[in-house]
Structure 1
Amino acid sequence: MRQAVVGLLAHVDAGKTTLAEAMLAAAGAIRNPGRVDSGSTHLDTDAMERDRGITIFSSSAALDWAGAHLMLVDAPGHVDFSAEAERTLAALDYTILVVGANDGVQGHTETLWDLLARHEVPTFVFVNKCDLENPGREELLAELASRLSPGCVDASALLVGDAGALEDAAATDEAALEEYLETGALAADTLRRLVAGRALFPVFFGAALRDDGVRELLDGMCALLAERPWPDEFAARVFRVSRGARGERLAWLKVTGGTLRAKAQLTGVDRRGEPWAEKINEVRLYQGASSETVAEVGAGRICVVTGLSHVVPGSALGAEPEGVRPLLAPVLSYQVIPEPGADVSALVRALRELADEDPVLGVTWQEQLQEAHVQLMGEVQQDVIAELLRERYGFAVTFGPGGILYKETVTAPAEGVGHFEPLRHYAEARLLVEPLPRGAGVEFGTRCSTDDLDLNWQRLILTNAMERDHLGPLTGAPLTDVRITLLAGRAHAKHTEGGDFRQATYRAVRQALMGARERGECRLLEPWYRFRLTVPADRVGRALTDLTRMAAEFDAPATSGDAATIAGEVPASEVGEYALEVARYTGGRGRISLELAGYRTCHNADEVIAAAAYDPEADLPNTPDSVFCSHGAGHTVKWQDVSAHAHTAVDPARLRPYRPADAAFFSAGLRSTGT
C-alpha cells in the first residue's frame, strides 16, 4: 500500500482542523466530523485547544483512501505556535496548505510557504470556505500564482486533462514541456514527479464544513502521490516531545529507514554532546487522543515512543542526518513572576522541563536579578505556559512586560584564551570566535591537533562551550551568528579536573569578545518583522509617515481599487501596538500582518546600549578574567593581560582542518539501532 505522512498547515481560522475532520469522516476513520466551535474535534485533543478553538500542539490520525495509507498531522495555525508547526515539517512527505477563500493569502500563509520551500516539502493547496463571499476561482488562482508560486494550478482541470491546466503545469519543467509539446498530454508519473519536486502545486477548492470538495481532494491527492523508497538501515527523526496522560515522556518521531521495534536499544548524543543509550519501552500509534501499542513500525510511518529521556524535537536517530536548522524563534523575552513564597529553583526546573518539549522557550536564570525569563512568540503562548505550569507543577505565575530579545555578534575574527589555575587545579583553552552569515546561529568545532591535546579533553572543552548561551559585551545579550573553534589547550596530568576546563572555556570566549569590543568589532542585532500593511487609499500618506518614523524599509504602495498595500520590513522594537493604531486611523478598514524576518544590525544601537548600562567586567558569572597560580596560590589576571601570561600558543603549521563538533565527533562512530 502506498503511504505518506501529510501535514495540514494554514493561517489561523482558515478551517484547517475542520478539513482534517472532514477527511477522516469521509474515509470512515471516524464516525462523524467534530466541530471546532463545539470543542468536539478528534485532533484538538488538549483541553486548552478545545477551550480556545485553536490547534496548539501537533496531533495525528490515519486514514485509508484509494489504495493509499495517509497519516495526517494537524499542525498549529496560530502565529504564536508557528515554531511547533515548523518542527512538524521534519515528519512530512507532503502537506496541504489551507487558504481561506474569504481571506486569501495572508502574511502567515507566506511565512508557511517559505518554510515549506526551505524544508522542501511537496505541497497541495486547498482553498477552503468557498461557500463564503470570495473574489472567485480565477481571481484566487491568480493570487496564489502571484503571491506563492506560478506552479499553483487548478487540480480539477489538471486531472481531467484540460489543455490550459496541462500547459501551465508543463511550463514549470523543461522535460515536462517537451513531453507536452510532443504528445499534447502529461503522463500521471510526470505529474507525480512535478508535485514531488515542488514544481507543481495542485489547487483544490471546497468548503470543508459542508463536506464540499473533500473527496475530490482525497482522490486527487492520492492520484498524485509518488511512491517513495526507504533505506533498510534504521533511521528516525524526532519532531515533537510531549507528556502522556500518566505524565510519561512521549517522543513523536518519523521512521525514515529500517524498522523501529519495541524494546530496541537506541544510542545518541544529547545537546551537550554527551552520549546516551536507552531502551524504548513502548511504540504507540495515535489516532487523535486514542492510541494503540504495537510491536514495530516500518519506514515511512510516524509513531510515538516512551523511554527516551534525552531526545528533543529535531533529534536525529540512527542513520538520519542532521536536519535543517529551524528558522522561527521568539523575539520577546518575559520575566516569569511566581506567587510570593514559591520555590523559585523548582520553578526554573519546571520551565526547563517544558523547554525540553519546546526548545525555543529559551529559559534563563538571571543571577544578579534573581529572576527567571522565558522567550515567547506572544501573549497566547504566555497563557499556555502559565496553564501548563499550573496543571503539571502547581505553580501560579504571571509575566512581566515583554522586552525585545536583542542579540550580539562579531564582525571580525577574535582570538581568546582562558586560564583556570587555583591551587591543585589546571586548565587552559584557546578559542577563535569568527563571524558567520545572519541566521547561522552558533557553530562549534576544533582545529586543535590530538598530538597537542587529547581528544577527550577537546570534547570536554567543546561540550562546555555548547552547554550555555554566551553573552555579548555590549548589553549582555546572547551571542549569535558566530563560529567558535578550539585552537589549542593544555591540561595537567595530575591536577586537571573536568570543571577546570569549563571555567577556562567560558573565560576564553569572554576574553575574545572583550578584545573585539575594544576594537569596535562587536555589533548589536535586533529582530525585524516582515510586514504587509493594507489601508484605504486616502490614508496612504499617514501610513508612509508612520513607517518612515519607525525606520521601516518598504516598497512603493500597490493600489487595488480603493485600498493600498505596502510591504517591507520594520524593526520589531518600533512596532509596539501599531496594529491598534492602524485600526483607529482607518476606522477599522486597515490591517497589518507581521512575521519575523530575522535579525539585522540594530537601527538605534547606541540608544539601546546606553539604556542597558551593561558593565561586562562587573558580570562576574561571565568574567573575562583568568586565574593563574603563583607562589602556591591562585590570583586573578585581568583580561587585557591574560595573553601575556598564557601557557599556550597557536602554531599555524600544527592546526588541523576544521572539524565540526557534531554527533560523529562526540560519539566516535556510535550509531543508534532500531532492531
Structure 2
Amino acid sequence: MKQAVIGIYAHVDAGKTTLAESMLYDAGRIRRLGRVDRGDSHLDTDAMERDRGITIFAAQAELEHAGARLTLVDAPGHVDFGAEAERTLAALDYAILVVAANDGVQSHTRTLWRLLERHGVPTFVFVNKVDLLPDAGSASEKDVLLAELCRRLSEGCVDAVALGDPAGQEAAATSDEAALDEYLEAGRLAPATLRRLVSGRRVFPCFFGSALRNEGVAELLDGVANLVGECSWPSEFAARVYRVTRSDRGERLAWLKVTGGELRAKQQVSGVSCGSPWSEKVNEARIYSGARFEPVALVAAGRTCAVTGLTRVRPGDVLGAEPAGARPTLAPVLTYGVLPGGADVHAVYQALCQLSEEDPMLGVSWDERLQQIGLSLMGSVQLEVVRGLLRERYGLDVGFGPGKILYKETISASVMGIGHFEPLRHYAEAHLRLDPGPRGSGVVFGSECSEDELDRNWQRLILTNAMERDHLGVLTGAPLTDVRITLCTGRAHPKHTEGGDFRQATYRAVRQGLMEAGARGECVLLEPWYTFELEVPADKVGRAMADLTRMGASFDAPEMEGDEACLAGKVPASELGEYALEVMAYTGGEGRLSLELAGYEPCHDADRVVAAAAYDPCADLANTPDSVFCSHGAGYTVKWDEVPTHAHVEDDPTRLRPWRAADATFFSS
C-alpha cells in the first residue's frame, strides 16, 4: 500500500481544520463531522484551541483511501505559530495548501508557500469556500481563481480535473521537457509521469470545493491518493524529531518521522543534543489520531509516531543515520519581560525552560543583574498561549511587559579571546578564536587544539561549556549570533583543575574576545528585517513609496499591472508597527502587505539603539570579561584589556586567521 504524510497548511480561517475533518469523515475514520466553531473538531484537541477556534499545536490522524494510507498533519495557521508549522515540514512527503476563495492568496499564504518551496515539499492546492462567491462554482469563477493562483503562487498550478483529461494535460506537459515529448507523441501523459511532475514540484494540482458543505472533498481524496508516489527508504534506522509535547498524564512525547529502517518499542536509539552524544531507550511507540492513540510494536520507515522515554531530544534533532536538517527559517523577533507577580520567579523560569524544550523558538533568558526573565516569541497571540500554558499546567499566573524588538549582535572580523580562572587551588586557561559566520548560521563551535597542549577530555568540556548557554554581545547585551567559536589552545593543572574551572575560563574567554572586538569597532548590532511585497492602487503608490523611505526600507521601482502597483524590497521589523492596518486604511481595503522574515541584518539606526540600551558590559557581573589570576596564595582580578599580557599560554599570531573546516578536529552546532 502506498503511504504518504501530508501536511495541511493555510492562512488562519481559511478552513484548514474543517477540510481535515471532512477528509477523515469521507474516508470513514470518524462518524460525524466536528466543527471548529462548535469546539468539537477531531484534531483541535487542546482546550485553548477549542476556546479560540484556531489551531495552535500540530495534530495528526491516519486514513486509508483508494489503496493509499495517508497521515494528515493539521498544522497551525496563525502567523504567530508559523514556527510550529515550519517544524512539521520535517515530517512531510506532501502538503495541501488551503486557500479561501473569498479571501484569495493572503500574505501568510505566500509565506507558507515559500516555506514549502524552500523545503521542496510537493503541494496540492484546495480552494475552499467557493460556495461564498457570488457566482459559486461557475467555470468563469474557477478560471479567475486559478489565474490568481498562477500569478501569486506558481504557473504550475493546474486544474486537477483537467489532469484526468488528455486534452487538459497540455498545461502540465509544458512544465517539463520529457513530459512534453511524451504528450506530443502519445497525446496524453501516463499516470506515472503525472506523479513525477507532482513530486518534482513541476505541477501543483488545484481542487475546488467547500469543506464545510463537504463539497469537492471526495475529488481531493481521489486525486491525492492517485497522485502520491511510492517512496523507497534506506534499510538503516533513521528518524527526525519534529515535535516535543507532553501528554495529559505529563509524559514527555517525542514525535518522529521514521526515515530509514524501522523503529521498535524498547529499541535503543542514539543522537546528539547541544553537541553531546546520548543513547536512550524508547519505552513506547504510539500512532495518534487526534487525542486518541494506539500503542504499536513497530513503526516502519515513512510513518510518523510519538514515543515515550526520550528525555533529551528537542524538535529538529535527528536520530540514527539521519543527516542534520536545515536551520529553521522563521524566528522570533519580539522579546517581553516576564512579570511573575506573586509567583516565585525561579519557578516561573523553570516552567518556561520546560516549555522551551517543546518549542525551541520560545527563547527564555535570565538577566542576573536585573533578576528578570526575558521571553522571545513570534507575537501577542503566542504570548497569550504561553500565559495559558503556565496557568493550566503549572498553576502560575504571570504578566508580561510591553514587547520589544529582539536585537542580536555579531562581529565583523576575527578576534582572539582569552579566559583565565585561577583562584586558590583552581586552574584553567582557554584561548578561543571568534570568527564572523555566514548570516543565519547562529553560533557554532569547534576545536583545532592539539592534544599535546590540552587533553581531549578537557577540550570536549570546554566546547560543552561554550555551548550550554547563550552568549551576549557587548553593545546592548543582545544574544550573540553568526559567530564561529574555535578552541585554539589552553592549559590545565594536573592537580588543581576541576570541570567548573574551564566553565569559568570559557565564559570569560568569549566575553574578553568580544570586548577586544568592541574596542576595535568590530562589533555589529543586528535587527530583524522582512522582505515585503506591497500592492496598492496605482494612485496610492506615491504615498506607499514615501512611507517605505521613511521606514528605512530598500525597494525596487514599482511594477505596474493594470490599475495596481507592486513594490518589493526589505524593511526593518522595528519600523513596521501596525503598518498593515495603515495600508488597509489609506487604500480603502484594496491594499495588501505581504511579509516574510528575511533574517537578521545590520541595524539601520544602531547608534540610537545602543545609546538607548545604555548597556555597560563591564558591570554585567554574570558575563564578566575579566579573568582571575593567583599570586602569593591569593586570587586577584585582571581587567579584560590586560588579560593577554598575564596569560600563561603564549598566543601564536598565526592562529588569528579565518576559520578553515579542515583544521577543526571536531565541530558542532
TM-score (normalizing by structure 2):
0.95
Structure 1 residues 157 and 587, CA gap change in structure 2 (3 angstroms): closer
Aligned to 2:495: 494
Aligned to 2:259: 256
Aligned to 2:118: 118
What CA distance in whole angstroms lies between the structure 2 residues aligned with 1:293 and 1:173? 44
Which letter maps to 1:295? A
Aligned to 1:88: 88
Secondary structure in 2 aligned to 1:617?
helix
Unaligned runs of 5+ in 2: 135-139
The answer as to 2:78 corresponding to 1:78 is yes
The alpha carbon displacement at 1:268 in A equals: 2.7
What CA distance in whole angstroms lies between the structure 2 residues aligned with 1:40 and 1:10? 20
Secondary structure in 2 aligned to 1:73?
strand
Number of aligned residue pairs: give it: 659
Which letter maps to 2:213? R
Secondary structure in 1 aligned to 2:30?
coil
What CA distance in whole angstroms lies between the structure 2 residues aligned with 1:584 and 1:218? 41
Farther-moved stretch of structure 1 (517-526 vs 643-652): 643-652
The alpha carbon displacement at 1:561 in A equals: 5.8
The answer as to 2:668 corresponding to 1:662 is yes
Contact 1:159 1:220 in 2 (8 A): no
What CA distance in whole angstroms lies between the structure 2 residues aligned with 1:246 and 1:303? 18
Secondary structure in 2 aligned to 1:208?
coil
Secondary structure in 1 aligned to 2:549?
helix
Secondary structure in 2 aligned to 1:514?
helix
The alpha carbon displacement at 1:136 in A equals: 2.5
Aligned to 1:292: 294
What CA distance in whole angstroms lies between the structure 1 residues aligned with 2:450 and 2:125? 53
Contact 1:284 1:305 in 2 (8 A): yes
Aligned to 2:213: 210
Unaligned runs of 5+ in 1: 664-675
Structure 1 residues 653 and 403, CA gap change in structure 2 (3 angstroms): closer
What CA distance in whole angstroms lies between the structure 2 residues aligned with 1:136 and 1:647? 78
Map residues 183-222 of structure 1 onto 2, 5 A cutoff. Answer: 183-222=186-225
Which letter maps to 2:162? A
What CA distance in whole angstroms lies between the structure 2 residues aligned with 1:240 and 1:485? 31
1:179-210 residue CA offsets vs partner (Å, 9 max, x unmatched): 33333332222221222222222222222112
Secondary structure in 2 aligned to 1:117?
helix
Secondary structure in 2 aligned to 1:360?
coil
Aligned to 1:335: 337
1:377-407 residue CA offsets vs partner (Å, 9 max, x unmatched): 1111111000000001111111100010001
1:413-458 residue CA offsets vs partner (Å, 9 max, x unmatched): 1121111111111111111111122112111112222333222111
What CA distance in whole angstroms lies between the structure 1 residues aligned with 2:395 and 2:349? 13
Which letter maps to 2:476? T
Map residues 452-463 of structure 1 onto 2, 5 A cutoff. Answer: 452-463=453-464
1:218-244 residue CA offsets vs partner (Å, 9 max, x unmatched): 111111111111122111111111111
Secondary structure in 2 aligned to 1:464?
helix
Contact 2:339 2:399 in 1 (8 A): yes
Structure 1 residues 417 and 44, CA gap change in structure 2 (3 angstroms): same
Which letter maps to 2:26? A
Secondary structure in 1 aligned to 2:417?
strand
Pick one of 156, 160, 167 that aligns with 1:151: 156
Secondary structure in 2 aligned to 1:179?
helix
The answer as to 2:55 corresponding to 1:50 is no
CA RMSD in angstroms comes to: 2.0
Which letter maps to 1:661? F
The alpha carbon displacement at 1:481 in A equals: 1.1
What CA distance in whole angstroms lies between the structure 1 residues aligned with 2:116 and 2:250? 33
Which letter maps to 1:302? T
Structure 1 residues 111 and 660, CA gap change in structure 2 (3 angstroms): farther
Aligned to 1:484: 485
What CA distance in whole angstroms lies between the structure 1 residues aligned with 2:446 and 2:151? 43
Aligned to 1:668: none
The alpha carbon displacement at 1:596 in A equals: 1.9
Map residues 531-570 of structure 1 onto 2, 5 A cutoff. Answer: 531-559=532-560, 563-570=564-571
Which letter maps to 1:232? S
Farther-moved stretch of structure 1 (533-542 vs 646-655): 646-655
Which letter maps to 1:307? G
Aligned to 1:4: 4
Which letter maps to 2:385? V
What CA distance in whole angstroms lies between the structure 2 residues aligned with 1:362 and 1:53? 26
The alpha carbon displacement at 1:504 in A equals: 1.1
Secondary structure in 1 aligned to 2:6?
strand
What CA distance in whole angstroms lies between the structure 2 residues aligned with 1:14 and 1:508? 51
The alpha carbon displacement at 1:588 in A equals: 4.8
The answer as to 2:619 corresponding to 1:613 is no
The alpha carbon displacement at 1:532 in A equals: 3.5
Aligned to 2:137: none
Which letter maps to 1:304? A
Secondary structure in 2 aligned to 1:131?
helix
1:516-556 residue CA offsets vs partner (Å, 9 max, x unmatched): 11111111111112333344444333332222211122334
Which letter maps to 2:175? T
The alpha carbon displacement at 1:90 in A equals: 0.5
What CA distance in whole angstroms lies between the structure 2 residues aligned with 1:659 and 1:196? 39
Aligned to 2:145: 140
The answer as to 2:180 corresponding to 1:177 is yes
What CA distance in whole angstroms lies between the structure 2 residues aligned with 1:586 and 1:145? 25
The alpha carbon displacement at 1:20 in A equals: 0.5
Structure 1 residues 94 and 550, CA gap change in structure 2 (3 angstroms): same
Pick one of 155, 162, 167 that aligns with 1:162: 167
What CA distance in whole angstroms lies between the structure 2 residues aligned with 1:285 and 1:406? 41
Structure 1 residues 415 and 162, CA gap change in structure 2 (3 angstroms): farther
Aligned to 2:317: 315
Structure 1 residues 349 and 645, CA gap change in structure 2 (3 angstroms): same
What CA distance in whole angstroms lies between the structure 2 residues aligned with 1:353 and 1:601? 32
Aligned to 1:303: 305
Structure 1 residues 647 and 178, CA gap change in structure 2 (3 angstroms): farther
The alpha carbon displacement at 1:148 in A equals: 2.1
Structure 1 residues 309 and 570, CA gap change in structure 2 (3 angstroms): same
What CA distance in whole angstroms lies between the structure 1 residues aligned with 2:623 and 2:511? 7
The answer as to 2:66 corresponding to 1:66 is yes
Aligned to 1:670: none
Contact 1:107 1:531 in 2 (8 A): no
Structure 1 residues 143 and 555, CA gap change in structure 2 (3 angstroms): farther
1:148-207 residue CA offsets vs partner (Å, 9 max, x unmatched): 2222222211222234xx333233223323333333332222221222222222222222
Divergent runs of 4+, >6 A? 653-656
Contact 2:261 2:301 in 1 (8 A): yes
Which letter maps to 1:532? E
Structure 1 residues 225 and 584, CA gap change in structure 2 (3 angstroms): closer
Aligned to 1:667: none
The answer as to 2:450 corresponding to 1:449 is yes
Contact 2:111 2:595 in 1 (8 A): no
Contact 2:625 2:639 in 1 (8 A): yes
Aligned to 2:646: 645
Contact 1:487 1:650 in 2 (8 A): no
Contact 2:532 2:594 in 1 (8 A): yes
What CA distance in whole angstroms lies between the structure 2 residues aligned with 1:307 and 1:627? 42
Contact 2:110 2:594 in 1 (8 A): no
What CA distance in whole angstroms lies between the structure 2 residues aligned with 1:13 and 1:485? 48
What CA distance in whole angstroms lies between the structure 1 residues aligned with 2:465 and 2:141? 59
1:83-104 residue CA offsets vs partner (Å, 9 max, x unmatched): 0000000111111111112222
What CA distance in whole angstroms lies between the structure 1 residues aligned with 2:455 and 2:156? 54
Structure 1 residues 173 and 535, CA gap change in structure 2 (3 angstroms): closer
Structure 1 residues 563 and 151, CA gap change in structure 2 (3 angstroms): closer
What CA distance in whole angstroms lies between the structure 2 residues aligned with 1:586 and 1:109? 21
What CA distance in whole angstroms lies between the structure 2 residues aligned with 1:277 and 1:563? 58
Which letter maps to 2:276? E
Structure 1 residues 516 and 629, CA gap change in structure 2 (3 angstroms): same
Map residues 370-385 of structure 1 onto 2, 5 A cutoff. Answer: 370-385=371-386
